[in-house]
A and B are shown apart, each in its own frame.
Chain A
Amino acid sequence: MDQFTIDHLIRLLRSAGGVADGVELNAGIVDEAYTDLGYDSLALLEMSAKIQQEFGVAIPDEDVTELKTPRQTIDYLNDRMSPI
């Protein structure tokens, strides 16, 4: 695997933070703010821990709060992940 995709992110987001009522997680959320999707800082910290465990990329806590949308997270990770 050499790219972190929206499908990876949705799977981790779902497992880390559940899904808010009235929200459907699909590729259309890529530019939605996490807060608009119902996720708080704990959910994003939980997701970043799962990303590190699975993909080996550590996201410092101060960066977690700067990544506001799925696209920003995906781009951040793909900049840092070495192709396998």
Chain B
Amino acid sequence: MSTGTVVTGLGIVAPGGFGAAEYWAFVLAGRSAIGPITRFDPSPYPTRLAGEVRGFVAEERVPGRIVVQTDQWTHLGLAATDLALADARLEPAAVPEYEMAVVTASSSGGTEFGQREIQSLWRRGPQFVGAYQSIAWFYAATTGQISIRHGMRGPCGVVCTEQAGGLDALAQARRLVRDGSRMVLTGGTDASLCPYGLTAQLASGRLSRSQDALRAYVPFDAQAGGYVPGEGGAILVVEDERAALARGARAYGTVAGYGATFDPAPETGREPGLRRAAELALADAGIGPDRIDVVFADAVGLPELDRQEAAAITAIFGPYGVPVTAPKTMSGRLYAGGAALDVAVALLSIRDGVIPPTIGILRQAEECELDLVRDRARPASVSTALVLARGYGGFNAAAVVTAPSL
């Protein structure tokens, strides 16, 4: 019989910080890591800003054999995994291999790697496509490489629900813990900042075309005009609470509740599913809205989607009824990495009693009746946080994390 599911390790590799301590200091300072794309020449594209993981050298963080076999998104995931395991003080070799599971989120797969091989195909022919294309591009590559590298042979999988993926993977990790896995590596990363990846993202029509790094991604602002994409994310170590206690681990918090819904078809005019996802998560946690101390918003940054999210939040909490924040305004939306990063940041908020800010907002949209934590971190007693995420195509997910009971 399982007890609870706790998070014992945070591995953050994101624009603005490498490692949980550095990233946390970065978001509390309220600075922006958004800037011109440097991974390729973005000048022919309408979107030229992004949140990049600067200074990341794969060869310094990933074994040489793996660097050539995998995409940047997997490099970031492997580096984040090392950080998460070190933070959890967990040595995989000391855990039975079939009791360790891996479930990550992926949204783009290995687009940068894939672009190189597609270019070889078109320019030089099929015999010039590298053998590793077969394993580098596909969504489960990061999960698989983590599993192989650390000898984690328990249930492994990948969840592809765009920006909702980080929460959906966390929920699957909790199911696996309840089914007997001793520990699960979960979360997600993304890295699709290449011409092919950016072009695919542009098709959604949701990307900001602003050239002003401080105003390009301003969710809930009266002049919101889309979002800035980013790369990176977070990998979390999740464990059975009793097992974590037994090995003397420190827990950041408990995964107390989760809910997921799918939007009705747009032409029906019915309410989107985000509110129901949040209510399901609260019910799953067995708490009412009054117990939520902060909401980490999905914050797409487009007026209609922002209005819908604000409506969902105010339907549950009332107008200006709960502090709301979107620290992703500092790093961009990280797709599969985004919600996992929000969970990590929510747990750090709980630990330190401070809510990181949303930056860049000049005038909040009137129809968004939210108590938005703006510009400066806000000290607050935080014992329970609600994290919201929406994935392009209709995915909604919500998770409740609470202070550790240890």
Contact = CB atoms under 8 A, between A and B. Distances in A.
Interface of A: 15-21, 38-39, 42-43, 45-46, 49, 52-53
Nearest to B68: A18
B131 A45 contact: yes
A65 to B, nearest CB: 13
Contacts of A39: 65
B65 A49 contact: no
Contacts of B127: 49, 52-53
Main secondary structure of the interface of B (DSSP, over half): helix
B135 A18 contact: no
A53 B128 contact: yes
15 contacts: A15-B68, A16-B68, A17-B68, A18-B63, A18-B66, A18-B69, A19-B64, A20-B64, A21-B65, A38-B65, A39-B65, A42-B69, A45-B131, A46-B130, A53-B127
B132 interface: yes
Nearest to A19: B64
A15 B69 CA distance: 11
Contacts, number: 40
B67 interface: yes
Contacts of B69: 17-18, 42
A17 B65 contact: yes
Interface string B48-71: 000000000000000111111100
Contacts of B128: 49, 53
B63 A42 contact: no
A49 B124 CA distance: 13
Nearest to B129: A49
B64 A18 contact: yes
B211 interface: no
Contact of B131 (A18, A20, A21, A46): A46
Contacts of B68: 15-18
A19 B131 contact: no
Contacts of B134: 42
Contacts of A15: 68
Interface centre among B67, B68, B135 (most CB of A within 10 A): B68
A18 B66 CA distance: 7
A43 B63 CA distance: 15
A43 B134 CA distance: 12
